[in-house]
A = this chain, B = another copy of it.
Amino acid sequence: MSSIAAFGEVMMRLETPGFATLSQSGSLAYSFSGTGVNVASALSRFGHETYLASTLPDNSLGDAALAQLRKLGIGTAFVSRGGRYIGMYFLEHGFGLRPSQVTYTDRLGSSFNTVPRDAGDWERIADAVDAAHFCGITLAMNDLARSQMKQLATAVKRRGGKVIFDCNYRPSLWGEGGHAAAAPHYREMLELADLVFMNEKDALLTLGMPSGGADRLAQLRDLIPQVAKTYGIEAIAGTHRQVNGDNTHTLAGYLYREGTFRFARPSTFSVYDRVGAGDAYASGIIHAWLRGDDPQYAVDFATAAAALAHTVHGDTPLASEADVVKALARTAGDIVR
């Protein structure tokens, strides 16, 4: 098993119970998540030693976040304390025709986005791990966040560690004209990366690559090999998600490696909590890739991990490797007793 650090902000998720709106309810359940947290947690359950590289305020909220990270089995040696705030988002679960609603507090003022760390920190982290995971959401924050992200990626690369980058482009964070603003930062990360999560949209819109493909699959087959070649990326993976009318989603995952695409059989499943399931797919791919598993197994395993993540409350995948392996063979669950 490997040792992996995930770099990213810890977000406090505050959600109304059931399907109540904030105006109806008077209580909230809270937990702590974020792409880095999700990936580190999932990989920890797959047997890896994981760390989060992040910054939390030195108050009760930071203490609570740290406690949950430990509970998830994530190493906290590289979480620094300082600054004053933690990023938060409020989640109102939709039902049927009514969409879920996310309302953010000010992320840019969070400890993660405002407190500079010593350059030595990045070296120490890079020393301790075989691979590090980064996410495009951090690129959308501010110069400090971007700069720290690149420092750590560079340090890892320099020491021979693997750099994993999930494009994860969020339009609302970049605003209008965001693709142009984002492009140079994305290119820098792609140059450093060994394993990348993206699909044809990232290539078309952020990297501005043209494609004559007739549909998204054709565009994917056209563009992903170009990206791999241009930036010297060892493996690229991603998914196409389709939201169906009957509370199910369909997920079709792929992995491109050594010039070949492998596709998972599209999987359709009931959805209990959608947030964070993309991170489960990524974690499945990372796990299989770090172990050198067969690429077809990798996409199937990652797809099952993603499907399971939709059945668990909270952003953070909780399935063990054994759980995922069992789910690979199952179509519906009864009772295990």
Residues of A in contact with B (beta carbons under 8 Å apart):
14, 18-24, 26-31, 59-61, 63-64, 67-68, 70-73, 84-85, 88-90, 92, 94-106, 109, 170, 172, 243-247, 269-272, 274-275, 307-308, 310-314, 318, 323, 327, 330-337
Contact = CB atoms under 8 A, between A and B. Distances in A.
Contacts of A20: 313
A323 B314 CA distance: 26
Contact of A96 (B22, B102, B243, B270): B270
A40 B85 CA distance: 30
B335 A98 contact: no
Given A100-B333, A172-B337, A27 B24 contact: no
27 contacts: A19-B313, A21-B312, A22-B60, A23-B67, A23-B318, A24-B312, A26-B30, A26-B31, A59-B103, A61-B90, A70-B71, A88-B105, A94-B333, A96-B270, A96-B271, A96-B333, A97-B331, A99-B330, A99-B335, A100-B335, A101-B335, A105-B105, A109-B109, A170-B337, A243-B332, A245-B331, A274-B335
A99 B85 CA distance: 22
Copy total for this chain:
6
Please indicate which of the listed interface residues A98, A99, A104, A308 has the most CB atoms of chain B within 10 Å of its own CB: A98
A90 B330 contact: no
A102 B100 CA distance: 30
B102 A336 contact: yes
A272 B18 CA distance: 11
B64 A23 contact: yes
Given A22-B61, A23-B63, A245 B336 contact: no
A94 B311 contact: yes
A196 to B, nearest CB: 23
Contact of A28 (B28, B243, B275, B308): B28
A307 B172 CA distance: 28
